[in-house]
Amino acid sequence: MKMTLTTLLLLIIIGLCAGILSGLVGVGGGILMVPMFLLFLGITQHNAQGLSLAVMLPPVTFLAVYNYHKQGAIDWKVAAVVSVMFIVGGYFGSKLALQIDQKLLKKIFGGFMLIVGLKLLFTK
């Protein structure tokens, strides 16, 4: 993937959004990153999944990322940018979540999952 300024900005936005969502509702960033990689960067499902795992490599997914890496399905420059922004977003998302009532937070989480699920079900 060519690293243009537009691509870099998209990667920063994806990393921040995934980190904020992770900190806000305690979900894995892949729930957000995979669809965003597909929709906004136009990469393949395998690459989107590999990149999502690469972003989370340090804490949980080393062996899974290794398999994607062996197949050439990870652009490490992309993974590095999104990973750094994921850390920043996670910090701010968790700060925000701690300020939101638990009942409202549960509704936010459920609504997000419903929207993403419907989008995945009804798009090509």
CB of 45 within 8 A of CB of 124? Answer: no
pLDDT score at 58:
65
For the stretch 82-95, pLDDT in tens is 989 988 998 998 88
**pLDDT at residue 25, as a whole number:** 67
Question: Which tens digits make up the pLDDT trace of 52-91?
Answer: 878 876 656 677 788 889 999 999 999 999 989 988 998 9
pTM over 0.85: no
Selection from 42, 40, 62, 39 nearest residue 50 by Cα? 62
Both tokens of 52, joined, read 């999502």
Q: How confident is the model at residue 28 (pLDDT cuts 50, 70, 90)?
A: low
